[in-house]
């Protein structure tokens, strides 16, 4: 891999999910980095042709892929005269992921990121992985294929990035515990009744982080932390018993590693994803960011508390899925994506998200559909079935006006 250091050949980057929150953080880090350090080869996005074209031009990309085929002519028109090649459809996003590059930033939201991120892994790329759903949906086959093809995963999710840095070259087998912190989200001090009745606006008002809608809703119910524990177990190859969560409302300490002698090493920064993006992009070197430096004296106190499973049932459901293993994380991920979408569309309450996810997991276990997916295709097939099942529950509910029990 090109180190991207001054004087060397630029490090060639592909950004999947370039128009999203992580994609914009990536573009910002690259734009502020020394000339010649990075070169963006390709960008890919979901639907917003105008934003994708703007990003492609600003970054000097050669190829821009949009998943929604109906946006092809719009993308082409927006790119006219730029010399940037436009492409559309899910296959074009995979094509972007496969282009020769030193690093692929995997920042598509949800299981939509599985196929393109997997394609990059099959090319043996270095992948800066933000798309946690990729591992929750298809962890074992994804990790196996990445290893076989010599791909390297750099954790971009802040907690995993902090743990990766704290761990250094040490063997995961030699450590006692990994701890991921959670901000506690906007509902940290709310009662269960208030949380259950929360609106999309309330769930989207995250106190510390500015992120895409799906992850913000996940964070409000602590499902995000559950997904991240599953992500950590596959990414680092660590079992659930050595994974822990601490609620830390300041979001300054992102992750901690505990050792047998009683030492803990933590990763700290201001809550700004550009820190973690920069770490991955320049790895193993460092690149300066515009992120304000951490002023611990000004912050004064860092506090930690245990998560409350009674008010945040999604965290328990996710931990149960991790313990059950097999296809259960895949089921959990698919049901959660479908439920969050329904919540954002105001079809269900906030409380219904966890109820629907639990119901989907129970149903899969009852039908004996919990066998671990052997391949990415197996995982996507489970994902598909579960989404259809959730859609049927939602349709039935809107017909009968019944509350989901």
Q: Least distance to ligand NAD from the beta carbon of 203, Å? A: 14
Under rule CB under 6 A, residue 267 binds ligand NAD: no
Distance, in Å, from the CA atom of 140 to the CA atom of 363, rounded to the nearest integer, reads 22
Bridge partner list, 153: 127
β-pair type (175-182, 253-259): antiparallel
Q: In the range 273-332, which residues lie near ligand NAD by CB under 6 A?
A: 273
Q: Which does 20 bind (CB under 5 to 8 A by kind): ligand NAD, Mg ion, none?
A: ligand NAD
Q: Which of 305, 316, 148, 341 is nearest to 226 (CA)?
A: 316
Distance, in Å, from the CA atom of 305 to the CA atom of 299, rounded to the nearest integer, reads 18
Cβ-closest residue to Mg ion?
157
Give Cβ neighbours of residue 366 (< 8 Å, ≥ 6 apart).
Answer: none
Q: Which does 21 bind (CB under 5 to 8 A by kind): Mg ion, ligand NAD, none?
A: ligand NAD
Q: In the range 164-223, which residues lie near ligand NAD by CB under 6 A?
A: 209, 211-212, 215
Nearer to ligand NAD, 182 or 393 (CB): 182
Q: Which stretch binds ligand NAD (CB under 6 A): 6-14, 71-79, 129-137, 246-254?
A: 129-137
User: Do residues 125 and 99 lie in contact, with contact meaning Cβ atoms separated by under 8 Å?
Assistant: no
Q: Which stretch binds Mg ion (CB under 5 A): 27-35, 154-162, 165-173, 273-281?
A: 154-162
Under rule CB under 6 A, residue 45 binds ligand NAD: yes
Under rule CB under 5 A, residue 157 binds Mg ion: yes
Under rule CB under 6 A, residue 131 binds ligand NAD: yes
Instruction: Report the b/e string of 26-64 with b at 16+ CB within 10 A.
Output: bbbbbeebeeebbbbbbbbbbebbebbbbbbbebebbbb
Helix (H/G/I), strand (E/B), else coil: 86:
strand
Residues that bind ligand NAD (CB under 6 A): 17-23, 44-46, 48, 67, 93, 107-109, 112, 130-133, 157-158, 209, 211-212, 215, 273
Residues forming contacts to Mg ion in the complex (CB under 5 A) are: 157-159
């Amino acid at each position: 891999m090109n180190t991207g250091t001054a004087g060397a050949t630029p490090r060639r980057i592909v950004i999947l999910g370039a128009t999203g929150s992580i994609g914009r953080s990536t573009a910002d880090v690259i734009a502020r980095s020394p000339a010649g350090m990075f070169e963006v080869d390709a960008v890919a996005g979901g639907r917003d042709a105008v934003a994708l074209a703007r990003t492609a031009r600003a970054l000097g990309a050669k190829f821009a892929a949009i998943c929604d085929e109906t946006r092809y002519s719009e993308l082409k028109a927006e790119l006219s005269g730029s010399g940037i090649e436009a492409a559309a459809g899910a296959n074009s996003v995979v094509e972007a992921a496969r282009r020769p590059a030193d690093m692929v930033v995997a920042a598509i939201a949800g299981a939509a990121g599985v196929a393109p991120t997997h394609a990059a892994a099959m090319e043996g790329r270095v992948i800066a992985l933000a798309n946690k759903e990729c591992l929750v949906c298809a962890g074992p086959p994804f990790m196996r294929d990445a290893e076989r093809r010599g791909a390297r995963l750099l954790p971009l999710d802040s907690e995993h990035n902090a743990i990766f840095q704290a761990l250094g070259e040490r063997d995961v087998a030699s450590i006692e515990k990994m701890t991921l912190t959670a901000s506690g989200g906007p509902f940290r001090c709310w009662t269960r009744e208030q949380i259950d009745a929360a609106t999309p606006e309330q769930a989207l008002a995250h106190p510390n982080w500015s992120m895409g809608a799906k992850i913000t809703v996940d964070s409000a119910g602590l499902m995000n932390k559950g997904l991240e524990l599953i992500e950590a177990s596959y990414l680092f190859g660590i079992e659930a018993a050595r994974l822990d969560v601490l609620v830390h409302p300041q979001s300054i300490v992102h992750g901690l590693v505990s050792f047998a002698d009683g030492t803990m090493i933590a990763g700290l920064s201001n809550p700004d994803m550009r820190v973690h993006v920069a770490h991955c992009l320049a790895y193993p070197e460092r690149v300066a960011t515009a992120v304000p430096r951490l002023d611990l004296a000004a912050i004064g106190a860092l506090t930690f508390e245990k998560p409350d499973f009674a008010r945040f049932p999604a965290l328990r459901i996710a931990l149960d899925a991790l313990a059950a293993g097999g296809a259960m994380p895949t089921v959990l991920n698919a049901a959660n994506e479908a439920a969050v979408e329904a919540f954002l569309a105001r079809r269900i309450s906030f409380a219904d998200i966890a109820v629907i996810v639990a119901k989907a997991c129970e149903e899969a276990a009852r039908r004996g559909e919990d066998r671990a997916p052997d391949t990415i295709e197996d995982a996507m097939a489970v994902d598909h079935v579960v989404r259809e099942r959730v859609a049927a529950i939602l349709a039935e509910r809107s017909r009968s006006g019944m509350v989901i029990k």
